[in-house]
Amino acid sequence: MPVLMRPKKFHKLVAFDFDNTITQDIIGPTNHHKSYLDVMGGQQRLNHLKKLFETLTKAGVQIIIVSFNVEGYVRHFLQHVGLFEYITYVFDRYSIYRNLKKIMPNQHALWKKYKKQYFMMVFVSKFFHIPGKSCLLVDDQQSNLDGLDDFCGTLKIYTRADNRGFGIRDSDILKIYLFFNIIT
Ligand SMILES: [Mg+2]
C-alpha cells in the first residue's frame, strides 16, 4: 500500500480495476511478448488516461487501484508507463483478502462471492472516510460490480468474449467525468 502523494483533502474516490481496465490485457509473468505501450493500446490511449488521471486528481478525486493481480506487477507496470504518480494506493489480492478477513472474520461465506463489493463497502469507504455515493468502481468484470448500485457508482468496461479487453475508452472517460460532475 504505497502512499505516494497526499495533495489536498480528497472528497471523492475512484477505484480502478487494473487488468483489461487500465490495460488492454492481463499483466503477469507470461506476457513478455508485448511492449508496455502495446498493452496500453498505444500512445494516444495512454495520453488520454494520463489526462483523465490528472483531471481527476485536480478535481479532488482520489485514485486507487483495486485488483486481484499482484501489487508488484501493477506498480512496476504503472511506473513504467508514467501513471503511477497519480495513484495513491494499490490494493492487490493479498490486501483485499487480508482486510476482508480482518474486518469480516466470521462472514467468509458472505464476502467470498462478492469480494470486491465488500472490500469497497466495508473497507474502502471507511478507510478513506468517503461516502459510497462519492465513490466510483470501474471494472471490466460485471461479477465485481453486481449488487453495488445502492452503495456506490459503478462503471462496466467492455470486454470481448475471449476476455481480451479494450480497457477504458474515450466514451468511458466521459462517463467518469459525468459521475464526478467534472467539466473539462
Ligand atoms: Mg479486470
pLDDT at 134: 96
CA 106 – ligand 1 centroid, Å: 28
**Enclosing domain of residue 107:** 12-62+69-179
4 in any annotated domain: no
* Distance between Cα 101 and ligand 1 center (Å): 22
Distance 67 CA to ligand 1 centre (A): 7
Ligand 1: centre distance to CA 136 (Å): 15
- How far does the centroid of ligand 1 lie from the alpha carbon of residue 140, in Å? 5
- The answer as to whether 6 is a domain residue is no
CATH of the domain at 137: 3.40.50.1000
Task: Confirm whether 47 is domain-assigned.
Answer: yes
What local confidence, expressed as pLDDT, does residue 29 receive? 74
The verdict on residue 118 lying in a domain is yes
**CB-based contact 55:177 (threshold 8 Å):** yes
Number of folded domains in the chain? 1
Residue 54 falls inside a structural domain: yes
Domain annotation covers residue 132: yes
pLDDT of residue 164: 73
Ligand 1: distance of its center to the CA of 20 in Å? Answer: 5
pTM, to two decimals: 0.92
**For the chain (length 184 residues), average pLDDT per consecutive 10?**
58 96 86 84 97 96 97 95 97 95 90 93 90 96 96 94 85 98 92
Q: CA 55 → CA 59, 127, 131, 174, 184, distances in Å?
A: 6, 23, 21, 12, 8
Distance 132 CA to ligand 1 centre (A): 21
pLDDT (0 to 100) of residue 8: 56
Question: Is 3 contained in some domain?
Answer: no
Distance CA 113, CA 135 (A): 21
